[in-house]
Structure 1
């Protein structure tokens, strides 16, 4: 999601005179600015997973090179011995044999720095730390970051109820942006589950920042200005509810719809989203103008409903998708339909030709966002009639 993340960050940067968005890299986007710009990104980014503050970077050959880099940094400027600590390490093509040992050496460098400067050291807490330090290794270089976010940003602070396999909030936001949906456009999720796509869209309609109801690691940093942070949050303008609903959801499960209603309330959405208990293949357009259908149907790898069977061999699934495809062609002319799934056979089962497919990952699962453009009338091109003159 690097491309859509960069687009989103440029929109956020319009509210800052110092935040600059630079190049995208595999797995992220480089930015620069004041520390308060990091607060702004944490508060407003729907797509980012974390906002990492780069502390140091150098080349390395051995674990001791990484230790020396860690022990040289003035960690005491950022947090104190009273704060608990966690170290996370990710690598691409690193020649080092033991990542656990490398992580340990980063930790040793940090605590040895505190011992030399203060005579004491922070404690380690891997479950709920105050401060997280992230290390990244490629084949030649190591970079050390302070994690300004803490808990991953997809944890918005409102979710209390989920289904068997809820879509991550930042992934739902990325799907919405990739689909081209914007507030004011009709949106329907006919397999809404616990409502993640609907809630992300509804918060966008009302201008509710994704980080409005949660806390962040930067609040534990030294010299954190609570008043300035509160002023940043107070500057948020919540849009009044729309006069008419343009976001709609349905699901076959009444329990899931009740869960969606509860989650909408917890997420601060103040307008009603019409929800209907109905099978997806029975849906009808909720408004009289074209819009976007965006949905994440259950698939075997995600919740194990189909065990180890491939979707193409599942007769019930084949019947369902065939019926859904017929419904889309018959009832939704001029709509754009987006299906997010790990089952690459979905277009064939829907009997629709995708106009675009965008690769995504849902955790470790490789997925696709398929786009289908519904046309008015039959999807099949009519064959011209042929005539043959015969001599009588």
Structure 2
């Protein structure tokens, strides 16, 4: 039986999610802003949750219909077969997103959908589910456009970027699915050295290690679909059994100036389940030397004490110093730097060979690619 799904993802990574879905043989793949719609059977849903490094969730489409007011949306939710998936013993949470909807209050629509679900079970079983906005058993999503409303059941539970290994997050953690996207966009291959010289809690290099080892991002966690009606335990076990872990050692390296960050990465690496070691140390990025003749450098530079700057002027000076260090010592490497500061190439006096728009949460960022050669690689007019 073919089911319809929607997988949201960080904006800018939709093409990568399309590639992932193609690799697991999803059907009717349709990218849109902020996610990808697709279709497939139950096994595909299990594989998407287990294997996608980019998706934030996998949502199962249950119902769709036009509306003119909140009562129409209530009626749509009232005739959705919720009991085919869960019982009143499950707690619920309803979330609503809308684009160009003429309805004024998303909070009121959320309340009406919640009432519809509760009334559905009360009429059917004389019981109703409780609401838990913190740790619900069941998450229900509604997406409302100018003309229609689509109701989804979340099959993932906790967001998919919560892999299960990270407890030490640092001050401004990069989400795991965005980190995976940075690695994919860099074109890094597991046969190449990879280096993050401002690693924080180690998200980028751990995601790279998991990719190189072919360890699914969902390997250490559970999913909402495991407690829904229709869960096929044998099928799920078959999906898990298909995983073949690659224990080949890889040249992955990390460093950070912060002793706290180095301690975090040590703890996170210990929980990650990587079948090989990752070299890491505490050092200033301006002292970090390349761990190979050529390779790929990927990082998300922080602000403040982790690079020992406090003002915008110091920030610009730091990037100029770092660029000089890279040009002098990292010739032959490709550097990928994620930042929300469009002036970063100007500070570095380098012209990026590529810039990819990405969003780190709500923060509008660019992933700049610099192919490092000795001497200046800056054009007369810096990229904005």
Residue 4 of structure 1 is matched in structure 2 by: 16
Residue 44 of structure 1 is matched in structure 2 by: 51
- Judge conservation of contact 1:86–1:132 (CA < 8 Å) in 2: yes
The alpha carbon displacement at 1:306 in A equals: 7.4
RMSD: 1.9
**TM-score of the aligned structures, taking structure 2 as reference length:** 0.91
The alpha carbon displacement at 1:149 in A equals: 0.6
- Judge conservation of contact 1:297–1:340 (CA < 8 Å) in 2: yes
CA deviations over 1:8-58 (Å, ceiling 9, x no partner):
221232xxxxx3251101111111111221111000000000000001111
User: What's the secondary structure of 1:4's corresponding residue?
Assistant: helix
CA deviations over 1:359-380 (Å, ceiling 9, x no partner):
1111111111111111255537
Residue 4 of structure 2 is matched in structure 1 by: none
User: What's the secondary structure of 1:46's corresponding residue?
Assistant: coil
User: What's the secondary structure of 1:83's corresponding residue?
Assistant: coil
Distance, in Å, in 1 between the alignment partners of 2:135 and 2:325 is 48
Residue 162 of structure 1 is matched in structure 2 by: 169
1:297 to 2:304 alignment: no
Q: 2:280 aligns with which of 259, 275, 281?
A: 275
- Judge conservation of contact 2:349–2:378 (CA < 8 Å) in 1: no
Q: 2:363 aligns with which of 358, 362, 365?
A: 365
User: What's the secondary structure of 1:249's corresponding residue?
Assistant: strand
CA deviations over 1:248-292 (Å, ceiling 9, x no partner):
11111122112112101101012111112221122211012x211
- Judge conservation of contact 1:299–1:342 (CA < 8 Å) in 2: no
Q: 1:331 aligns with which of 312, 329, 333?
A: 329
Distance, in Å, in 2 between the alignment partners of 1:119 and 1:36 is 34
User: What's the secondary structure of 1:361's corresponding residue?
Assistant: strand
Matches within 5 A, 1:1-392: 1-13=13-25, 19-242=26-249, 245-288=250-293, 290-299=294-303, 314-376=312-374, 378-379=376-377
- Pair member with larger Rg: 1
User: What's the secondary structure of 2:195's corresponding residue?
Assistant: strand
Q: 1:71 to 1:286 in 2, by over 3 A?
A: same
Residue 16 of structure 1 is matched in structure 2 by: none
Distance, in Å, in 1 between the alignment partners of 2:31 and 2:333 is 32
CA deviations over 1:116-138 (Å, ceiling 9, x no partner):
22221111111111111100011
How many aligned positions are there? 366
Structure 2: unaligned runs, 5 residues or longer: 1-12, 380-384
- Judge conservation of contact 2:297–2:333 (CA < 8 Å) in 1: yes
